[in-house]
Amino acid sequence: MVTVEIYSKPDCCLCDEAKRVLEAVRRDVPFELREVNIAGDPERLAAYGQEIPVVFIGGRKAFKYRVDERELRRRLQREVAR
């Protein structure tokens, strides 16, 4: 199963929006979703704090700021086909 990881932090409206898109797509295209709160991780906060939410598919950075539902579906299908 494909793993999707989202780096986010509390009180982030773009993060909430991205999570809604991920959950909507997950109803049709199964994947494992891991949420990482970077607020408590100084290293990740320094690296990604200005880009959140950041979404990784199969360990590769796929989106930052906003998640496009159509593109997410396309990338997940491509990852499943590997």
E strands, 28-73, in order: 32-37, 54-57, 60-64
Residue 9 DSSP class: -
Domains of the chain by start residue, with CATH: 3-64 (3.40.30.10)
Q: Whole-prediction pTM value?
A: 0.93
- From first to last of the 82 residues of the chain, give the pLDDT tens digit: 899 999 999 999 999 999 999 999 999 999 999 999 999 999 999 999 999 999 999 999 999 999 999 999 999 999 888 7
Tokens 């299908």 correspond to what residue?
77
Q: What's the CA angle centered on 78, arms 17 and 9, to 5 degrees?
A: 25
